[in-house]
């Protein structure tokens, strides 16, 4: 027989409830009054890649409860770390058995002081002596969250379409570079200048990500590898540009660009006392846009369809290759926008470190926000609060800011392992986990 | 070993999946459990195999009550199960798969592969499985993989073998082979619980038939009961197994395929110079054993595979167009495997119903979706096609196979078509839905659309076709009228030309009376 694919992996036409354990929660509801067939999803044969992307989707769109509990767990473990790294606590350990109360009160104090300092540094400083000092922390958190939210939205768009855009970092850099260049070299009227600069940033990110999209669509090159590599290219491209005369200030050999023109600045929202700028409004608009795009537009419909089942999408006449390119372009455009907002709103001039670790944190925030715009908006704020609060905590109590990194990492770790969180809190497994629970 | 289930009840929340089910499997008996998808057969077997705990009732082995805490206990008691989806390690050899979990070892913890090989060979010879212990499982055809599963159960001294929908993944030939194996197992004393919803197989092999509907036993039947009777018990109402259709009134031939060739990645022609044409108001069924190029033919028509030659629809050339353009040209396409190629399982019913039309009016204005129009369409299609769902917002993956297939059909048939191509339109679908889907296909024909049905089920071909094209190794060996006898079709599916097959079939009939010897050679060719 000249059959090209010998049925090594059986195509199973029968969506039977036969797989043991797959129907713990959803049994065979043929027994119900409608006489309907089994209502659980057909166990389908999956290739390794399909399984991997399914796992990715599960992680990226896990339940809200798990996210909250993961955060609580991370704070608890963070507390343990605080206890055992604070000198005032560890010194009580030497006489723990004669006076254990000392240890517990010292531990409680250390943890409380650290977390309270963090809260004061990130949200509201109830010890402030003026309006400015009371609300400064919150606005600072919002400022830091702005580019994080926007870039995470970009990562999430790709997630939802089954693509793993690790290249937000590079796309942020390119966006910042484009926007910054337009900002400090061109001279345009007020309002127009800032818009043009932002559009430039969007284009920069979109173009950079499209490289990966086109390579994936045309040659099948995996977007993870390509975007990771493009991150390095972007980083060193910017480093190089900052040595050329087009990007540096006249008469300076510092790798730092001139400040963007006044017309290209994103205006401050609350006056000179605060760094909070119109970028935050852009982040809100971007969140609404992504929500609309993914749930209310034909593009989003296609993105999600291709992300869930490229075969069926192709059969329905959706161009999978062109969709890949479009997804990466949109994803990169958002990351580029994040870079533009960063340079036009917060940083004001372009440096080699303009992107910080924004692009990578964005992946975390997208996971944390379950790839949903509203989730990402709050996840971005939370993530930024940890960062901002961590700095205040270090200053106030001496607890190292690295603790924040530990907490952030733990949150992601727990979100990536929902069964672990469920086991710890004894939550019932959702149907997708039923198999594991049964076995 | 005698196995008895008494009053087994299994509830999932408010849902009663098994309602006081009684079942007795006598030693050396093939006991068929017949029921539609979702009737509760698999739940019952999972209770028996220790995967679920029954809420009420007891299991008796040789008249003694037993409690299975898990599959391990069931195996120890001599109950083996072959799941519909095989539990094999694809990259392991047959022997390695068989010994997995209770590996024989030599001193020092070394694996004793030879012992495993010997066991496989012994069992394979005893039951005529024809298994090579050193073959790698992923290289084996599905039917042979299934035999590996059976050997896995036999190795553990299974006295009762549960086969869960074993034929769902098999070709007709493999099904026949499996039935022979079941007979052999029975002859050697193994009892078999055979779960299925296919009437023909039940009649071929079962000693006792228990029919389950909506979680309860509705009765038992003997294998010589009529198929319609069994179907009525299963579905709960009279079902017509044939399709009431008036004779075709072929109009203009608007769909022509000429010299179509599709090559696979290795350059081998999987569709080899195929030509045929279909008229308006006519159903052409493409019959053949699975894997003879029918799938590729249908996929080439919608532009999913690159092809050479010509496909013309009302004079317009389709070869070289994208799937999008071809769908736009008026081709309706139902792919062979709905869960892989037809549906986005985690999309809602409403979304799946507009998968191909989502960017067109009335479902989109510019790039904005009109969710209202999409929902309205879904409600209409759900009513029209009797899709059993909680509503347009339910995920398609949670529907039964038959209802999923209705979603695909509803989508494809709900726009004006110039040709309708359906591959295995009722595979894995329960009897009640098959009847419905067949009616819709005939309705589309009567509406004046040329229809091409690709099917490996001769029943379906016979029920629907106005003409039958038989494919063998990528070629069409002949196009014959719908009333062609099964024997002739069978020979054509094995590669004989139409006339040749006719001659052989008649010869065989005549010779059968005269000479046994000629009969054998005739069949062998």
Q: Tell me the chain A residues in contact with residue B49 when contact means C-beta distances shorter than 8 Å.
A: 20
Reference A124, options A113, A140, A148, A108; nearest CA is A140
Residues B194 and B279 in one domain: no
Please list every residue in chain B whose beta carbon sits closer than 8 Å to the beta carbon of residue A35: 214, 236, 388
Query: Which residue stretches of chain B have pLDDT < 50?
Result: 515-525
Eight-state DSSP code of residue B482: T
R_g of chain A computed on alpha carbons: 25
Which residues constitute the domain of residue B162?
3-235
Contact between chains at A28 and B42 (C-beta distance less than 8 A): yes
Range of the domain at A121: 59-431
Please indicate, yes or no, if residue B524 is contained in any of the structural domains: no
Order of strands across the sheet with B253-263?
A: B269-279, B253-263, B307-313, B316-317
Chain A residue closest to B429 (CA)? A14
Q: Which residue of A has its CA nearest to B295?
A: A3
Inter-chain residue contact A27 with B292, CB threshold 8 Å: no
The per-residue pLDDT for range B264-312, each reduced to its tens digit, is: 877 888 899 999 999 999 999 999 877 788 889 999 999 989 999 999 9
Q: Give the nearest partner residue to B83 out of A11, A20, A302, using CB atoms.
A: A20
User: Which token pair is A196?
Assistant: 């043009």
Say whether both B357 and B441 belong to one domain. no
Tell me the two tokens of residue B111. Answer: 């694996």
* B452 domain residue, yes or no: yes
**Pick from B86, B292, B327: CB nearest A1:** B292
User: B395 contacts in A (CB within 8 Å)?
Assistant: 41
Give which of B84, B1, B6 is closest to B44, Cα–Cα.
B6
User: Is residue A28 a part of any domain in this protein?
Assistant: no
Q: How far is CA B217 from CA A19, A59, B58, B223, B394, in A?
A: 22, 42, 16, 17, 30
Cα–Cα distance for residue pair A20/A27, rounded to 1 Å: 11
Q: Tell me, what's the pLDDT at A6?
A: 40
What is the count of structural domains for chain B? 3
Cα–Cα distance measured from residue A252 to residue A263, given in angstroms and rounded to the nearest whole number: 24
Q: Is residue A44 part of a domain?
A: no
pLDDT at A173: 97
Indicate if B375 and B303 belong to the same structural domain. no
Query: For an interface test with A, which of B48, B173, B195, B214 has the most A Cβ atoms less than 10 Å from its Cβ?
Result: B214
Extract the tokens encoding B409: 């059909």
Cα distance between residue A372 and residue A239, in whole Å = 34
Count of domains forming chain A: 1
Both B266 and B360 in one domain: the answer is no
In a domain, B493, yes or no: no
Residue B278 lies in a domain: yes
| Residue finishing a domain among B235, B266, B298 | B235
H or E element at residue B311: strand B307-313
Contact between B344 and A42 using a beta-carbon 8 Å cutoff: no
Q: Do A35 and B140 touch (CB under 8 A)?
A: no
Tell me, what CATH number does A93's domain have?
A: 1.10.3470
**Residue B235: exposure state from Cβ atoms within 10 A (0-12, 13-18, ≥19):** buried
Please tell me the distance in Å from B21's CA to the nearest CA on chain A: 13
Is B521 domain-assigned? no
Of A1, A29, A309, the CB nearest to B344: A309
Q: Do B85 and A1 touch (CB under 8 A)?
A: no
Domain shared by B125 and B265, yes or no:
no
Strand partners, B481: B467
Is position B317 within any domain?
Answer: yes
Interchain CB distance below 8 Å, B359 and A298: yes
- Interface touch A37/B400, C-beta < 8 Å: yes
User: Are B83 and A19 within 8 A, CB to CB?
Assistant: yes
Q: What CA dihedral angle connects B388, B394, B396 and B400, to 10 degrees?
A: -40
Closest-CA distance, A326 to chain B, in angstroms, reads: 14
Closest-approach residue (CA) in chain B for A317? B324
Q: For residue B498, is it within any domain?
A: no
Nearest CA-CA distance, residue B414 and chain A, Å: 13
- Cβ pairs A/B, distance under 8 A: 262
Is A12 among the domain residues?
no
Whether residue A437 is contained in a domain is answered as no
Q: Which of B9, B38, B214, B403 to mutate to test the interface with A (most CBs of A within 10 A)?
A: B38
- Min Cα separation B391/chain A (Å): 13
Domain presence at residue A13: no
Kindly indicate whether the ipTM for this predicted assembly is greater than 0.90, answering yes or no: no
Q: Are residues B145 and B287 in the same domain?
A: no
Min CA distance, B269 vs chain A (Å)?
A: 7
pLDDT digits (tens, 9 = 90+) for B9-63: 988 777 788 889 998 998 889 999 988 766 788 788 888 888 888 888 889 988 8
Residue of chain A whose alpha carbon sits nearest to that of B9: A31
Nearest CA of chain B to the CA of A26: how many Å? 7
Q: Do B152 and B34 share a domain, yes or no?
A: yes
Q: Which of B37, B369, B430 sits opposite A296 (nearest CB)?
A: B369
B35 and B162: one domain? yes
The residue in chain A having the minimum alpha-carbon distance to the alpha carbon of residue B139 is A8
Chain A residues with CB under 8 Å of B493 CB are: none
Q: What is the 3-state secondary structure (H, E, C) of chain A?
A: CCCCCCCCCCCCCCCCCCCCCCCCCCCCHHHCCCCCCCCCCCCCCCCHHHHHHHHHHHHHCCCHHHHHHHHHHHHHHHHHHHHHHCHHHHHHHCCCCCCHHHHHHHHHHHHHHHHHHHHHHHCCCCCCCCHHHHHHHHHHHHHHHHHHHHHHHHHHHHHHCCCCCCCHHHHHHHHHHHHHHHHHHCCCCCCHHHHHHHHHHHHHHHHHHHHHHHHHHHHCCCHHHHHHHHHHHHHHHHHHHCCCCCCCCCCCCCCEEEECCHHHCCCECCCCCCCCECHHHHHHHHHHHHHHHHHHEHHHHHHHHHHHCHHHHHHCCCCHHHHHHHHHHHHHHHHHHHHHHHHHHHHCEEECCCCCCHHHHHHHHHHHCCCCHHHHHHHHHHHHHHHHHHHHHHHHHCCCCHHHHHHHHHHHHHHHCHHHHHHHHCCCCCHHHHHHHHC
Chain B residues whose CB is inside 8 A of the A296 CB are: 368-369, 371
pLDDT at A225: 94
CB contact under 8 A, A299 and B367: yes
- Give the residue from chain A lying closest to B323, CA to CA: A317
Smallest CA–CA distance, residue A48 to chain B, in Å, is 12
Distance (Å, whole) CA A204 – CA A197: 10
| Burial group, residue B111, by CB count within 10 angstroms (0-12, 13-18, 19+) | middle
Nearest alpha carbon to residue A418 among A397, A406, A434, A403:
A434
B42 closest CB neighbour out of A1, A12, A17: A17
Structure tokens, B427: 């595979």
Distance CA A70, CA A267 (A): 37
Which chain B residue's Cα is nearest to A14? B428
Q: CATH number for the domain including B463?
A: 3.40.50.300
Residue finishing a domain among B365, B390, B415: B415
The answer on B77 and B226 residing in a single domain is: yes
Q: Are residues B441 and B294 in the same domain?
A: yes
Query: What is residue A133's predicted lDDT score, i.e. its pLDDT?
Result: 85
Question: Can you tell me which residue has the tokens 């898990």?
Answer: B70
Question: Quick check: helix, strand or coil at residue B262?
Answer: strand
Specify if B514 maps to a domain: no
From first to last of its 439 residues, what are the pLDDT tens digits of chain A? 344 444 333 433 333 333 333 333 333 333 333 333 333 333 334 455 555 666 655 555 556 777 888 888 899 999 999 888 888 888 888 888 888 888 899 899 999 999 999 999 898 888 878 888 888 999 999 999 999 999 999 999 999 999 999 999 999 999 999 999 999 999 999 899 999 999 999 999 999 999 999 999 999 899 999 999 999 999 999 999 999 888 888 777 788 888 898 888 999 998 888 899 999 999 999 999 999 999 999 999 999 999 999 999 999 989 999 999 999 999 999 999 999 999 999 999 999 899 989 999 999 899 888 889 999 999 999 999 999 999 999 888 888 888 888 988 888 888 777 777 777 777 665 543 333 333 2
Amino acid B510: pLDDT:
56
Q: Pick the residue of A316, A330, A438 with the most B CBs within 10 A to test the interface with B by mutation.
A: A316
B398 shares its domain with B453: no
- B371 and B406 co-located in one domain: yes
Closest-CA residue in chain B for A321?
A: B322
Q: Is the dihedral of CA A108, A109, A114, A120 positive or negative?
A: positive
Q: Among B196, B215, B235, which residue terminates a domain?
A: B235
C-alpha distance from residue A366 to each of A59, A61, A362, B179 (Å): 10, 9, 6, 53
């Amino acid at each position: 027989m000249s059959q090209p694919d010998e049925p090594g992996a059986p195509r199973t036409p029968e969506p039977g409830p036969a797989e043991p354990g797959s129907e713990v929660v959803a049994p065979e509801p043929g027994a119900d009054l409608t006489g309907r067939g089994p209502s659980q999803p057909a166990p389908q044969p999956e290739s390794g890649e399909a399984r991997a992307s399914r796992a990715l989707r599960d992680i990226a769109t896990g339940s809200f409860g798990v996210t909250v509990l993961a955060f609580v767990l991370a704070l608890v473990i963070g507390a343990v770390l605080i206890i055992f790294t604070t000198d005032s606590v560890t010194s009580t350990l030497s006489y723990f058995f004669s006076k254990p109360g000392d240890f517990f009160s010292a531990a409680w104090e250390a943890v409380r002081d650290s977390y309270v300092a963090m809260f004061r540094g990130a949200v509201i400083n109830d010890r402030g002596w003026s309006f400015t000092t009371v609300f400064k922390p919150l606005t600072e958190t919002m400022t830091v969250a702005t580019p994080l939210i926007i870039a995470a939205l970009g990562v999430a768009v790709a997630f939802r379409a089954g693509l793993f855009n690790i290249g937000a970092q590079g796309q942020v850099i390119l966006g910042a570079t484009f926007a910054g260049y337009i900002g400090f070299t061109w001279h345009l009227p007020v309002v127009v200048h800032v818009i043009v600069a932002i559009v430039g940033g969007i284009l920069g990110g979109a173009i950079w990500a499209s490289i990966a999209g086109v390579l994936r669509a045309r040659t099948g090159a995996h977007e993870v590898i390509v975007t990771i590599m493009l991150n390095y290219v972007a980083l060193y491209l910017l480093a190089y540009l900052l040595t050329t005369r087009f990007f540096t200030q006249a008469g300076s050999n510092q790798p730092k660009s001139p400040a963007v023109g006044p017309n290209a600045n994103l205006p401050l929202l609350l006056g000179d006392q605060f760094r909070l700028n119109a970028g935050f409004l852009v982040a809100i608009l971007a969140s609404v846009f992504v929500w609309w795009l993914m749930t209310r537009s034909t593009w989003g419909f296609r993105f999600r369809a291709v992300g869930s089942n490229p075969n069926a999408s192709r059969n329905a006449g959706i161009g999978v290759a062109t969709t890949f390119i479009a997804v990466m372009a949109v994803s990169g455009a958002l990351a580029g926008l994040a870079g533009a907002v960063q340079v036009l709103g917060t940083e004001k001039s372009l440096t080699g470190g303009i992107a910080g670790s924004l692009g990578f944190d964005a992946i975390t925030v997208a996971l944390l926000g379950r790839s949903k715009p509203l989730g990402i908006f709050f996840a971005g704020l939370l993530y930024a609060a940890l960062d901002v609060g961590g700095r205040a905590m270090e200053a106030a109590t001496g607890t190292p800011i690295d603790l924040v990194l530990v907490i952030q990492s733990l949150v992601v770790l727990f979100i990536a392992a929902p069964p672990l969180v469920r086991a710890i809190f004894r939550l019932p497994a959702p149907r997708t986990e039923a198999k594991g629970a049964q076995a | 070993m005698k196995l008895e289930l008494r009053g087994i009840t299994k509830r999932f929340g408010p849902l009663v999946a098994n309602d006081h089910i009684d079942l007795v499997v006598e030693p050396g008996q093939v006991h068929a459990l017949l029921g539609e998808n979702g009737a509760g057969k698999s739940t019952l077997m999972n209770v028996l195999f220790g995967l679920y705990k029954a809420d009420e009732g007891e299991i008796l082995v040789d008249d003694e009550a037993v409690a299975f805490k898990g599959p391990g206990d069931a195996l120890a008691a001599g109950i083996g199960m072959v799941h519909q989806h095989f539990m094999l390690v694809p990259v392991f050899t047959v022997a390695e798969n068989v010994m997995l979990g209770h590996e024989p070892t030599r001193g020092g913890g070394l694996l004793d592969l030879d012992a495993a090989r010997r066991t496989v060979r012994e069992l394979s010879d005893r039951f005529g499985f024809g298994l090579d212990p050193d073959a790698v499982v992923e290289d084996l055809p599905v039917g042979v993989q299934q035999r590996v599963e059976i050997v896995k159960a036999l190795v553990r001294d299974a006295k009762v073998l549960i086969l869960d929908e074993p034929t769902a993944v098999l070709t007709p030939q493999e099904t026949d082979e499996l039935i022979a194996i079941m007979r052999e197992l029975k002859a050697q004393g193994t009892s078999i619980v055979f779960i299925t919803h296919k009437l023909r197989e039940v009649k071929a092999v079962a000693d006792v038939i228990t029919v389950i509907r909506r979680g309860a036993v509705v009765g038992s039947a003997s294998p010589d009961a009529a198929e319609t009777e069994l179907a009525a018990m299963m579905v709960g109402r009279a079902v017509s197994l044939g399709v009431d259709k008036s004779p075709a009134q072929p109009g203009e031939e608007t769909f022509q395929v000429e010299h179509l060739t599709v090559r696979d990645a290795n350059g081998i022609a999987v569709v080899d110079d195929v030509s045929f044409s279909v008229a308006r108001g006519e159903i052409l069924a493409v019959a053949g054993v699975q894997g003879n190029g029918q799938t590729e033919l249908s996929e080439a028509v919608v532009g999913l595979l690159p092809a050479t030659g010509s496909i013309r629809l009302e004079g317009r050339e389709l070869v070289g167009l994208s799937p999008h353009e071809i769908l736009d040209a008026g081709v309706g396409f139902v792919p062979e495997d709905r869960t892989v190629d037809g549906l986005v399982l985690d999309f809602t019913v409403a979304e799946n119903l507009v998968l191909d039309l989502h960017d067109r009016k009335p479902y989109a204005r510019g790039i904005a979706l009109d969710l209202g129009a999409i929902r309205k369409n879904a409600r209409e299609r759900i009513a029209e096609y009797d899709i059993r769902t909680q509503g347009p917002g339910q995920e398609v993956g949670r529907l039964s196979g038959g209802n999923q297939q209705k979603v695909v059909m509803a989508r494809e048939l709900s726009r004006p078509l110039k040709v309708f191509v359906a591959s295995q339109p009722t595979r894995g679908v329960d009897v009640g839905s098959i009847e419905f889907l067949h009616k819709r296909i005939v309705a589309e024909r009567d509406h004046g659309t040329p229809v091409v049905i690709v099917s490996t089920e001769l029943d379906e071909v016979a029920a629907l076709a106005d003409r039958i094209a038989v494919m063998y190794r990528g070629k069409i060996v002949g196009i014959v009228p719908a009333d062609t006898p099964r024997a002739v079709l069978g020979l054509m599916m094995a590669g004989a030309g139409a006339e040749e097959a006719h001659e052989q079939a008649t010869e065989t009939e005549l010779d059968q009376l005269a000479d046994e010897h000629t009969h054998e050679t005739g069949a062998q060719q």
